[in-house]
Chains A and B, each alone.
Chain A
Amino acid sequence: MNYFLQRFGRLFVIWLPLVWLILFFMLPLIEMINVSFSEAKRAVPPYNPAFQFGPDGISFQPVADNYLLIYKYWEDYLWPAINSIRLAFFSTLYCLLLAYPMAWWIARSNKPLQHILLILVLMPFWTSSLLRMYALIGLLNPNGFINDILIWAGFIVTPIQMMQTDFSIYSGMVLSYLPLMILPLYASLVRLDSSIIEAAADLGARKLDIFKTIILPLSVPGIIAGCLLVFIPAVGEFVIPALLGGPEQLMLGKVIWTEFFRNRDWPVAAAIAIILIAIIILPIVYARYQDKEGIS
């Protein structure tokens, strides 16, 4: 009996995440691929599924039109894509630069303080991100809190235009994604054995050398994990540029939105998303695969 329980428990622990992944990650992805090869039409739902179980059995009629259309108007999609990748890249960079010292400081604090600091890092997740963005708008507006204070203190006469600029977008991005960078960095830095650092210092290494030759290389897994966690969702980010950005910043997220909502073309929207996944995810998967090959 005990044996069975143990066996069942083990199976449960292994299979539960797998079932979860298949249900909520693989199936939606497969459905999206299916929609991207479907034909748009005015109906509920607004496409003719490429693959479906109908009353007359299984039908499979994929069309490549959606991908051909993107190919035909590639210029309309290329610039938003470059914008999105640029936004994601710099957001990741700023997050990394800010998060590294924070994570280091948390990892080197004593245990009770560490717990409090980690809660503080996670705390923003307890408020809706939309609310946090509106709070930021209240701070950055021409008639907002920061400008009011600066004018009142006599530093400036006319309000500084902070909203609808790169500054406001990156403020929002960093505000939203910083915890995703701090946590993996912290996890790798906290495991770092302080006796190694002490040994290096005893042998006369300067602080910068210790950082470059010991701390940084040992925290590379944390940096990679953090950068992936920030970069991947940042590429598709829609809400933050829409709320905080001006007209110049047309992102791929918004382009997908217009295909979906304005052209009512769910298949083309799905096709763009699939291409984006292919461009962003596949190189990462490939790099990880190469990495493993190299090690073995």
Chain B
Amino acid sequence: MSRSNLFLVGGVIIAALAIFLNFDTENAKKSKVADLDNKLNIYNWSDYIAEDTISNFEAETGIKVTYDMYDSNEVLEAKMLAGSSGYDLVVPTADFLARGREAGAYQDMDMSKISNVKNQSPQIQAQADEMTGSTNAGLVYMWGSTGIAYNEEMIAERLGDDAPIDSWALILDPVNAAKLEDCGIAVLDAPTDVLPNIMTYLGYNGTSTEEAHFEAAGEALTAIRPYLRYINSSQSINDIANGDICAAIMWSGDAFQAAYRAEEAENGNVIDYYIPNEGTNLWFDVMAIPADAKNVENAHKFVDYMMRADVAAENVNYVWYASGNKAAEASIDPEILSHPGIYPTDEAKEKLFVTPVYDAKTDRIVTRVWNRFLAGN
């Protein structure tokens, strides 16, 4: 072997080692934490908690928290279904929790250990419990809607005063979509949060599981697909804040985070969000304990802490989602509490629905319709 070849092989080995060692330090960090007795491993959505909540909890209880983040229910679910995730507390959306419980991936929460459960809004909790089919599945952390986020100026420039800033038609009417193509439209890559809403736009019931209704929704989406910039769930927050896109089907809190980022950046983009008057789906993110959690006691302590009115209010003021915590409302920023996009008016509430927990056959229909929309045929 010539010297230069030796060098080449050496380089490849070093590169491989660098990758390998990188993994190794990751694991070492985890196992070090595992050596301590008083610990708690949390897996939550990204950008979904106030900056000092975890450190305050650690200071108060002496429990060492490892806090990891995900950005889709699917990623969390795959970890739960594979088992031995190592996490003690996770925050799935209620329909995913319902399926996970069916598979035996979650354990019941002992509500007698959570004294602050009295702060929870009974109406919100009842809606989530109906989906999971149990009052012990977990407690709702935040809830929200799927709607449309838009850049006020860019929409006004292109659609004038006629812009239907109260309807799904802003994006779903091909005439509007064509006019907005140049400034950029995005759609969430979350079929269960998009297809049922398109069904309400078409006049069907959002909770329908009929194949024909899904097909119709898919066709309506395919009609505007040539005008879409992309279909993605995590990219639109930044892009709409920067003015790279001007309208998007988004989750409520994401839209307000974008609005906040644009304000911070002082780039002149004013972002707002609305719940279309045809109706939209509500979702509930629930704090729940995996079946194989090792620090069950600490998980309960953390949930109890999160259910404190002051802690819950701080989190809402930071992430701009509606809380499941009723008692927190006294300390929530009035701007948030009075925004119809976050806490919907009673009138709007009547049009809100909860997407049912689909069975495997419906899952397959939803995915097939969605993939055809993605592929454009």
A and B held together in a complex = yes
| B-binding residues in A (CB < 8 A) | 40, 42-46, 73, 76, 79-80, 111, 114-115, 118-119, 122, 125-126, 141-143, 164, 183, 186-187, 190-191, 242, 245-248, 250, 254-255, 258-265
**Is B174 an interface position by the 8 A CB rule?**
no
If A46-B81, A250-B375 touch, whether A143 touches B4 (CB-CB below 8 Å) is: no
**Is B15 an interface position by the 8 A CB rule?**
yes
Are the C-beta atoms of A264 and B8 separated by less than 8 Å?
no
Are the C-beta atoms of B83 and A164 separated by less than 8 Å?
no
Are the C-beta atoms of A126 and B18 separated by less than 8 Å?
yes
Nearest 7 interchain pairs by C-beta: A261-B74, A250-B375, A42-B103, A125-B15, A44-B83, A46-B81, A250-B374
By a CB distance below 8 angstroms, the chain A residues around B75 are: 261
| A-binding residues in B (CB < 8 A) | 2-5, 7-8, 11-12, 14-15, 18-19, 72, 74-75, 77-78, 80-83, 99, 102-105, 184, 191, 225, 228-232, 239, 242-244, 291, 360, 363-364, 366-368, 370-372, 374-377
Are the C-beta atoms of B8 and A255 separated by less than 8 Å?
no
Are the C-beta atoms of B244 and A141 separated by less than 8 Å?
yes
Tell me which of B83, B367, B377 contacts A263 (CB under 8 A).
Answer: B367
Tell me which of B72, B104, B184, B368 contacts A76 (CB under 8 A).
Answer: B368
By a CB distance below 8 angstroms, the chain B residues around A115 are: 4, 7
Are the C-beta atoms of A247 and B374 separated by less than 8 Å?
yes
By a CB distance below 8 angstroms, the chain A residues around B364 are: 263, 265
Per the bound structure, the CA–CA distance linking A152 and B360 in Å amounts to 54
By a CB distance below 8 angstroms, the chain A residues around B232 are: 242
Closest chain B residue, CB of each to CB of A258 = B367
By a CB distance below 8 angstroms, the chain B residues around A73 are: 368
Are the C-beta atoms of A80 and B375 separated by less than 8 Å?
yes
B362 to chain A, nearest CB (A): 10
Per the bound structure, the CA–CA distance linking A247 and B74 in Å amounts to 20
Tell me which of A242, A245, A247, A263 contacts B376 (CB under 8 A).
Answer: A247
Per the bound structure, the CA–CA distance linking A261 and B75 in Å amounts to 7
Are the C-beta atoms of B8 and A118 separated by less than 8 Å?
yes
A181 to chain B, nearest CB (A): 14
Tell me which of A114, A126, A164, A186 contacts B229 (CB under 8 A).
Answer: A164
Closest chain A residue, CB of each to CB of B245 = A142
By a CB distance below 8 angstroms, the chain A residues around B81 are: 43-46, 264
Interface CB pairs A-B, < 8 A, 5:
A43-B81, A111-B3, A183-B12, A191-B2, A261-B74
Are the C-beta atoms of A44 and B82 separated by less than 8 Å?
yes
By a CB distance below 8 angstroms, the chain B residues around A141 are: 239, 242, 244
Per the bound structure, the CA–CA distance linking A43 and B77 in Å amounts to 12
Closest chain B residue, CB of each to CB of A47 = B81
Are the C-beta atoms of A164 and B8 separated by less than 8 Å?
no
Closest chain A residue, CB of each to CB of B183 = A142
By a CB distance below 8 angstroms, the chain B residues around A76 are: 368, 371-372
Tell me which of A42, A45, A142, A186 contacts B244 (CB under 8 A).
Answer: A142
A246 to chain B, nearest CB (A): 5
